[in-house]
Structure 1
Amino acid sequence: MLDGGKVLEPEAEARRAALAARDPAGWSDADRIAWMVPQFEAAEGQFRRYGSDFAMEPATATLADPPSWFGLRASRAAGGLSNLWGAAVLPYRQEDMAGWPITADDLGPHYQAVAEFLPIAGVPDDLEALLPAFPMSGRTGLAPASQAEALLTRLRAARGAIEALGASVGGARQAVDTSCRRCGLCLHGCPFGLIWKAGDTLEELKAAPGFDYRPGQTVVGFAESPESVTVHLDSGESVTGTRVFLGAGVLETARILLASLPGLDALVLRDSQHVFLPMIQRWRNRTRPDKGAFHTLPQIFVEIDAPEISPHLVHAQLYSWNEHYARDLIQNYGSKLPFSHPFFTALARRLIVAQFFLHSDHSHRISLTRTQDGRLTASLEPNVNMERISRAAAGRVGKVMGKAGLTALTFAARPGGPGSSFHVGASLPMAREPASGESDALGRPNGLLRVHVIDATSLPAVPATTITFSVMANAHRIGTHCP
């Protein structure tokens, strides 16, 4: 395995270990604030965990001239962007895979195989009828935050009215160990390391016979011959093997492909556009949502199956209180209303936010080309239907949640920039009969036999439901069935 291999710096790891050595009940407000401050101080578009930038490359490391709208970033860390993800896990629905050279049933055994090492917290509920490829029987969920628990109760009571709007609702599924301490620091790096990251599995692989891990490597390209593949590194060295699996993340993979495939001048990333929709609860909290034990990962999933909006699912993840809400309200509105900070802090405790995603068919696309220095340039290919469909989706999510006692502030809905959902890929899509710029059902670029693209690059499209679980299942499928 050739890997960038960046890891958390020793001082940051020592800080994490020191906090994890103490029971959360004994942490002071100062302890919690100190843990959060590095993320709040991060540059625009950068996400930190554990107070470190090790897991995300700055835009200029990947792009020669990063446009201001571009929200996607690469990673050269051990475990890549899984060091930063929100841990949401769902399979794909067959209807959202129409025209693919594989089916949801093809992925089913590989979802199961991935789940043998990926911890998945969740319980059986109404989502299984809609997304049957990975059943949840026998699993245990994380206890929802008090605010989310109250909302789930209301959603269940309004089930009939919600189904009439084309919606299915269930508890979130997260790739988190169910021994979660519910300390509320999820979005800044779990001090206990209970949110799964690929680096956890990498440590297990290092003990496997025949596995050779080489960190600190940057691949600049490859060349295939009839019997082997030679991978070229930026150090000037080369590594030769009989087969290569390329899964560097969609930006780094694009850089490598554009340098390696003659005649390939551009790759077009397909984005799953996301929108943040704030909602105010109309009931009174029995307890303060910012006190006690809770987690701040997604709490509830809502799937909208409404052909009048889209032939594909619209997927929404609901977040109850977290420490970003009051900060955002004060930053956006506090300067206009003197002495309003206490009001916005109290308002944040009644705020629930839906982050919803559209299928890539309804989203902007991003064209990538390679510059002389080996970096990428990005240009936007707008989708003229995106705003109309996102407004319709926001309205429907608002109607659904209105049945459970929330008032959606659709006027304040905030779309993320292209790529910022990190649900991006399909730039070398698998096809039954691949042409130039496509790959076969084993992720092999057209004309190649020994190179398999196994990250989101080879997906034929990007459905709205969560991306990581399906990328992992597809990679496992390719690894299982390749010659």
Structure 2
Amino acid sequence: MTADFDVIIVGSGPAGVSAAFPLVAAGKKVLMVDGGNSPAGELPRQPFLAAREYDQEQWKWMIGSDLHALGMHDAISPKMRVPAHAKVFSEFNAANYINSENFVAIGSLAQGGLSNAWGCGVARFSSAELEEFPCLPSELENAYRLVAQRIGISGPKADDLSDYFGLDSWSQPPIAMDALHEHMYSRYEKHRQSLNGTGFRLGRSRIAVLSQDLGRRQGCNNQGNCLYGCDRGALYSASTDLAALKLFPNFYHQTMVVDALRQGDGHWLIEGAAGKQVKSISGSRILLAAGTLATTRLALNALQLQQSVRLLSCPTAAFVLCLPSSFGAARHTGFGLGQLSFVLSLRDDIHVLGSTFATSGLPISEFVNYLPLRRRYGVDLLKALLSSCVVGNLFLPGNLSDNHVSVDGTGALHIKGGFKEETGELLKTAGSRLRKAYAQLGAYMLPMSFTPAKAGADIHYAGTLPMRINPVPGETGSTGELFGLAGVHVVDGAALPLLSEKSHTLTIMANATRIGERLAVGYHCA
């Protein structure tokens, strides 16, 4: 019996669309399914600070007609309070039967997945990191290039992080920094030698944001609306690629939350809810790109593997820096994502990556609850203070996490989060050393602002079904094919054999592209 499709891809996020392009180009009949949520809502049309002052209907994009932001006061990230992002995060855990203990579990049922509301940080894994991958480095090198050129990346042509990020040859010019970041960077250039001696390096952030027009997308115009949604399309989202894929006559897209995989008459079946109906669709091959958590649940249930497997995530923390030289200055609209990034070497085998962001695109309410003052006085203080502040984050390598997942007899996925014993001390050391490094840049970490996050809050999930040269049950081969389930391939973060401190999205996309290319030319499809 002939399958309905040559390939079915579960998920339309960065991994899914990246795997789809080479398959569709090769003429394969491809179906992509996702939860169907469409990010919607009002977007600001003026520069952020101007809109905050003059837009009489700003409540629509700040709070939402259903008061969404007010109901999300406990959310771990301000992104989750944005009305336009409500559909990005909603219903994921319930639809995928995911529950967690001491772990922040986040995913998306939206078209384009979590790339609708991400930080856009990108990096290549180093040669040493890629040694863990069961493929030729040249395969990933070519895939990195294809993805970078498709999505658009901005960054400088040379600085102290050029080798670390490895993307300069494919990048557009960097987006202009604000005055605070310009000040810190000029101070860094004066103190580079001493700071490098302590293991601290600073450079421009590499981000999947356009500084120049690319296709129908427009370059960033520094209006500061990054958190609330860019009406120019400067920030990359996989939903843009999904729209491009829909132009191919052999590509099909359908709303469906996949509940299970079944083997049929010489092919595979996906089963799940499509609206109010339960459907079953067949494919010669299934590519799982539903996000690490949902993919892991589907794979472990299909394997009937109830043993616990490790889930990698990056221990993370946030902090606030104040530049006294700018205290009381007027706030100016500027770019809202990472402007400068740092790398801090804690040991030869442990590095920290972080970035700093302007506060000009964030409402004061995001900070006032962290002050030891009544809200009324806190607002007054922050009006003067925030113009001299930037916020920062940092990430440690994923092998310092200690998370485990398993499925039970009902098919639900259970996540138990934690960290390795040494992680707390490493975070404390990182905070102390960053405090000293930034002081040389004229930026002082506010007391009590250095805040480690719960396990999973990084949303850098990976490694549950790692690729190996010689896989065993619960692992995958060089094309992401699950051991014991011929024809089922994992192409998202679940297949990564390691998770460094770097953003892993670009590597996920490159690996998915590589697997798509291999399946397009090296395997027979019905």
TM-score for the superposition, normalised by structure 2: 0.82
Aligned to 1:36: 62
Q: Deviation per CA, 1:388-434, whole angstroms, max 9, x where unpaired?
A: 11112222222322221122347431111111111111111111211
Q: Given the superposition, is the C-alpha separation of residues 272 and 100 from structure 1 closer, same or farther in structure 2, using an over 3 Å criterion? A: same
Aligned length: 470
Q: Higher mean Cα deviation, 94-103 or 147-156?
A: 94-103
Indicate if the aligned counterparts of 1:277 and 1:410 stay in contact, CA closer than 8 A.
no
Which range is displaced more, 176-185 or 468-477?
A: 176-185
Aligned to 2:334: 294
2:325 aligns to what?
Answer: 283
Tell me, what secondary structure is at the counterpart of 1:349? Answer: helix
Of 383-392 and 55-64, the range deviating more from structure 2: 55-64
Q: CA deviation at 1:380?
A: 2.5
Q: Which moved more, 1:90-99 or 1:157-166?
A: 90-99
Q: Indicate the SS of the match to 1:55.
A: helix
- In 2, Cα distance between equivalents of 1:263 and 1:314: 34
Q: 401-410 or 417-426, which moves further after superposition?
A: 401-410
- Would you say 1:401 and 2:438 are equivalent positions? yes
- CA change 1:190–1:451 in 2 (3 A) is same
1:258 to 269, 280, 300: 300
Q: 220, 234, 240: which one pairs with 1:180? A: 220
Give how far 1:230 is off.
2.1
How far is the alpha carbon of 1:196 from its aligned partner? 1.2
Is the CA contact 2:314–2:458 (under 8 Å) kept in the aligned structure 1? yes
Q: CA deviation at 1:459?
A: 0.6
Query: Partner residue of 2:124?
Result: 91
Q: Is the 8 A contact 2:314 2:401 kept in 1?
A: yes
Partner of 2:232: 192
Matches within 5 A, 1:14-53: 15-16=42-43, 19-20=44-45, 27=51, 29-31=53-55, 33-34=58-59, 35-38=61-64, 40-43=69-72, 44-45=74-75, 47-53=80-86
Distance 1:25 1:116 in 2: 32
In 2, are the aligned partners of 1:48 and 1:55 still within 8 Å (CA)? no
Structure 1 residue corresponding to 2:459, chosen from 419, 422, 425: 422
CA distance in 1, matches of 2:465, 2:343: 28
Residues 111, 470 of structure 1: 8 Å contact kept: yes
User: Larger relative CO (CA 8 A, sep 6+): 1 or 2?
Assistant: 2
1:122 corresponding residue in structure 2:
155
Partner of 1:363: 401
Q: Check if 1:237 corresponds to 2:279.
A: yes
Instruction: Pick closer, same or farther for the CA change 1:211–1:339 going to 2, 3 Å.
Output: closer
Following the alignment from structure 2 to structure 1, what is the Cα–Cα distance between the partners of residues 283 and 349? 43
Q: Which residue of structure 2 aligns with residue 354 of structure 1? A: 392
Distance 1:352 1:252 in 2: 35
Taking a change above 3 Å as real, the CA distance of residues 64 and 78 of structure 1, as seen in their structure-2 partners, is closer
Structure 2 vs 1, CA of residues 263 and 363 (structure 1 numbering), >3 Å: closer, same or farther? closer
Match of 1:330 in 2: 368
Unaligned 5+ segments in structure 2 are: 1-31, 212-218
Amino acid at match of 1:278: V
1:8 matched residue in structure 2 = 39
- 1:341/1:238 CA distance change after superposition, 3 Å: closer
Counterpart CA distance in 2 for 1:364 and 1:6 is 32
Between the aligned partners of 1:132 and 1:343, the Cα distance in structure 2 is: 38
Q: Which moved more, 1:314-323 or 1:238-247?
A: 314-323
Q: Secondary structure at the match of 2:471?
A: coil
Structure 1 residues 172, 400: CA separation in 2 closer, same or farther (over 3 Å shift)? same
For 2:102 and 2:306, locate their aligned partners in 1 and report how far apart those are by CA, in whole Å.
Answer: 25
Return the alpha-carbon distance in structure 2 between the equivalents of residues 371 and 189 of structure 1.
Answer: 41
1:112 corresponds, among 137, 140, 145, to 145
Distance 1:101 1:58 in 2: 35
Cα offsets for 1:437-459 (capped at 9, x unmatched): 11112111112331110110111
- 1:189-221 CA deviation, whole Å, 9 max, x = no partner? 22333211100110010001201111x201112
1:347 Cα offset (Å): 2.0
- Answering whether residue 101 of structure 2 is matched by residue 101 of structure 1, we say no
Q: CA deviation at 1:344?
A: 2.9
Partner of 2:12: none
Task: Measure the CA separation in 1 of the matches of 2:58 and 2:190.
Answer: 38
From 459, 462, 470, the equivalent of 2:496 is 459
What is the CA–CA distance in structure 2 between the aligned matches of 1:121 and 1:399, rounded to whole Å?
A: 29
Q: Spell out, residue by residue over 1:300-343, the C-alpha distance to the aligned partner (whole angstroms, 9 max, x if none).
A: 11112342xx6033111111224547434421225458734312
Alignment counterpart, residue 259 of structure 2, candidates 208, 216, 220: 220
Residues of 1 paired with 2:484 and 2:99: CA distance?
A: 32
Secondary structure, in 3 states, of the residue corresponding to 2:269?
strand
Q: After the TM superposition, which residues 74-85 of structure 1 pair with which residues of structure 2 at under 5 Å, given as runs?
A: 74-85=107-118
Cα distance in structure 1, aligned partners of 2:133 and 2:243:
34
The CA distance in 1 between the partners of 2:406 and 2:504, in whole Å, is 21
Q: Percent identity?
A: 22
Tell me how far apart the structure 1 counterparts of residues 382 and 493 of structure 2 sit (CA, whole Å).
Answer: 39
Q: Distance in 2 between matches of 1:344 and 1:360?
A: 35
| Paired AA for residue 29 in structure 1 | E
Taking structure 1 as the reference length, the TM-score comes to 0.88
Gaps in structure 1 of 5+ consecutive residues: none
Shift of residue 132, structure 1, vs aligned partner: 6.0
Alignment CA distance shift 1:133-1:105 (3 Å): farther
Between 1:319-328 and 1:260-269, the stretch displaced more is 319-328
Query: Residues 126 and 251 (structure 1 numbering): CA distance in 2 closer, same or farther, change over 3 Å?
Result: same
Is the counterpart of residue 339 in structure 1 residue 391 in structure 2? no
CA contact (8 A) 1:224 1:450 kept: no
* Paired residue secondary structure (1:240): strand
**Contact kept? 2:469, 2:478, Cα under 8 Å:** yes
Cα distance in 1, alignment partners of residues 392 and 150 from structure 2: 29
- Which stretch shifts more, 118-127 or 259-268? 259-268
Change (3 A) 1:223 1:65: closer
Residues 329 and 384 in structure 2, CA contact (< 8 A), matched pair in contact too: no
The CA RMSD measured in Å over matched residues stands at 2.8
One-letter code aligned to 2:326: R
